[in-house]
Copies of this chain bind each other. A is one copy, B any other.
């Protein structure tokens, strides 16, 4: 709160102390194109250091382009978003801008409200991350707001699946899951249970499709693949697996889950039920969260390049606008949509079967 209380030191003070005009002081301290006599430059620098001058970004923002980037996320407590944010920070730092972060809890209302608040800060760019960002949410009010922001010269980048017409970077869940299915098939797993989340979660069901495709391509019979829906959490995986074990695992040789949390639950249920992993049954997950290497046996999973995604979001956000040309043909020069693939990480929770 600088202004109510007076003792803030302003550019004016620095100029006075250095015995020059504010214009000169500004040119020295603000990195101007104009040159200043070395003698004056030295004086200004000395005065600024002496007075501990820091320029007021609010005032500065009124004349030059802002250098902040705003990130809107569902939840900052998940380990994955932490890694993405850290990478964004690092990347932003290389171009002298900085990132401010807000979380929305995932509700469209709070997303809308947060976006409005952040737009008021006139950031250079807005990066949105959500499991679900829908154009039609709130009757399109969110989309309208974002479009208006973009028309005012802002830049919007979405990390995640979205039908909004902005630059986006998404994980190819299906394509990333396919190698996992293929790997399990190649290592001799014939009968597989897939612990899928609920049917309506888009990224989760894409992973299930990928698993299935990979398994079939590896020669597994479609009849031998069983899909079990469960809650997306450790408990969900635990419960579903416990039920499986109670029913009798039968010929099942592998359990592959839509994410690591579910897989860890499955692992836990196996231990509780006396089912050896990986000798009796292999278990695999998706995401490569920190926990995956902390459990025993260490979890085979699919690693996502989260750091690269974070850095790339910032790069996209700062890149010169791609769709600058007039809206000519339909679909011509639309938003750039990047897709990244995860990589299979084989650890100790799966093995090779020779049966």
Interface residues of A (CB under 8 A from B): 1-5, 7-9, 52, 54-59, 61-66, 75-79, 82-83, 85-86, 89, 98-103, 116-117, 119-122, 124, 144-145, 148, 151-154, 234, 264, 268, 271-272, 290-291, 294-296
A55 B120 Cβ-Cβ under 8 A: yes
Chain A to chain B: the 5 pairs with minimum beta-carbon distance, closest first: A100-B100, A77-B82, A58-B61, A1-B65, A5-B153
Q: How far is the CB of A268 from chain B (nearest CB, A)?
A: 6
Q: How far is the CA of A55 from the CA of B120 in the complex (A)?
A: 6
Can you list 20 residue pairs at the A/B interface with Cβ under 8 Å? A1-B65, A3-B62, A3-B64, A7-B151, A7-B153, A52-B144, A52-B145, A52-B148, A54-B116, A54-B120, A57-B121, A59-B62, A76-B76, A76-B101, A82-B82, A98-B117, A99-B102, A268-B294, A271-B296, A290-B291
Q: How far is the CA of A8 from the CA of B66 in the complex (A)?
A: 14
Q: How far is the CB of A96 from chain B (nearest CB, A)?
A: 10
Known pairs A1-B154, A8-B153; list 16 more (Cβ under 8 Å): A1-B65, A1-B124, A3-B63, A3-B65, A58-B62, A62-B62, A76-B76, A77-B83, A85-B101, A98-B117, A99-B102, A101-B101, A264-B294, A268-B296, A272-B296, A294-B294
Q: Which residues of B contact A82 (CB under 8 A)?
A: 76-79, 82
Chain B, Cβ-Cβ closest to A2: B122
Q: How far is the CB of A147 from chain B (nearest CB, A)?
A: 9
Which of B3, B65, B78 has a CB less than 8 Å from the CB of A4? B65
Q: How far is the CA of A75 from the CA of B79 in the complex (A)?
A: 12
Q: How far is the CA of A153 from the CA of B5 in the complex (A)?
A: 6
Q: How far is the CA of A121 from the CA of B60 in the complex (A)?
A: 10
B86 A77 Cβ-Cβ under 8 A: yes
Q: How far is the CB of A252 from chain B (nearest CB, A)?
A: 21
Q: How far is the CA of A3 from the CA of B8 in the complex (A)?
A: 25
Q: How far is the CA of A9 from the CA of B151 in the complex (A)?
A: 11
Q: How far is the CB of A107 from chain B (nearest CB, A)?
A: 13
Q: Which residues of B contact A234 (CB under 8 A)?
A: 294
Q: How far is the CA of A152 from the CA of B4 in the complex (A)?
A: 10
